[in-house]
């Protein structure tokens, strides 16, 4: 709209559109101003809006997943009277590769899906299951390395926990990437390759403090494989379980779609 008589209607509308040649009063309250005075631009405007909203939902759920994991596991550590097992560098793979690189790539992709449902509801419905997967992974590794002989040293235990946390986040990325297209397949392959190379070749760049306060490098996940093969096998089993959970969550997330707001 471009006339002053339309101002009241524009205030009541969910999304008001005007052109650059409209009155100043109209342009001041319009949600969208078409600078080229051409309503043929509207399909591109709608497509860009859908891309921004849908991709922000996916990217934000990744960040919220990590926040919920950190908060919940910190509370668990308080009740267990134990030290929070992760420092900044131990969460670096999850933050840089899965959340950072993954969310950046997803935000660049065109997304023409119709916007539906509520933003906050979508975030928590997807981030809470992802955080639970991370918590279960870390607790499983802690229990396994504590009660399942041969007991690994502190370095290998930290490496296994970092791998469980990072690949658990990758499993959640698998959930939000569905349905797959060529771009998302390539993204998942790149992220998986980075995590595999990092955990098998470059874990020694991370350091930890032993009981005596000495700084030591973390071993790669396949170091001393003849002794630690059982833990690596269990880790892979946990990740397979994560994939099953991810598929179930994907199926469950489609159930309420009929009830979403249009």
Model confidence over 209-230: pLDDT tens digits? 776 777 888 888 888 777 778 7
Q: What is the rounded average pLDDT of the residues 67-93?
A: 89
pLDDT value for 66: 92
Q: Where are the domains of the chain?
A: 1-37, 48-259
CB atoms within 10 A of CB 56: 16
pLDDT value for 167: 92
Closest CA to 30 of 59, 54, 53, 7: 7
* Burial of residue 172 (number of CB atoms within 10 Å: 0-12, 13-18, 19+): buried
pLDDT > 80? residue 103: yes
pLDDT value for 255: 63
State how far the Cα of 11 lies from the Cα of 172, in Å rounded to an integer: 41
Portion of the chain with pLDDT greater than 70, in percent: 90
Please tell me which residue, 116 or 34, carries the higher pLDDT value: 34
Please tell me which residue, 145 or 73, carries the higher pLDDT value: 73
CB atoms within 10 A of CB 13: 14
């Amino acid at each position: 709209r471009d006339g002053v008589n339309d101002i009241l209607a524009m205030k009541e509308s969910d999304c008001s559109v005007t052109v650059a040649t409209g009155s100043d009063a109209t342009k001041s309250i319009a949600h969208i101003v078409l600078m080229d005075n051409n309503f043929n631009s509207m399909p591109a405007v709608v497509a860009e809006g859908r891309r921004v909203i849908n991709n922000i939902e996916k990217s934000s759920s990744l960040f919220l997943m990590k926040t919920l994991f950190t908060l919940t596991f910190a509370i668990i550590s308080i009740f267990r009277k134990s030290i929070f097992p992760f420092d900044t560098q131990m969460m670096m793979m999850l933050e840089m590769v899965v959340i950072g690189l993954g969310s950046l790539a997803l935000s660049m992709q065109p997304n023409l899906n119709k916007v539906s449902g509520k933003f906050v509801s979508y975030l928590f419905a997807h981030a809470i299951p992802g955080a639970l997967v991370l918590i279960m992974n870390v607790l499983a590794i802690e229990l396994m390395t504590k009660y399942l002989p041969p007991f690994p040293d502190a370095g290998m235990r930290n490496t296994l926990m970092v791998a469980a946390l990072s690949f658990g986040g990758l499993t959640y990325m698998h959930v939000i990437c569905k349905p797959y297209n060529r771009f998302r397949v390539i993204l998942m392959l790149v992220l998986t390759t980075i995590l595999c190379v990092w955990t098998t070749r470059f874990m020694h760049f991370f350091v930890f403090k032993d009981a005596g306060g000495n700084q030591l490098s973390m071993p790669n996940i396949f170091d001393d494989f003849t002794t630690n093969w059982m833990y690596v096998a269990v880790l892979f089993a946990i990740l397979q379980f994560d994939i099953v959970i991810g598929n179930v969550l994907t199926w469950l997330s489609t159930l309420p779609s009929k009830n979403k707001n249009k």
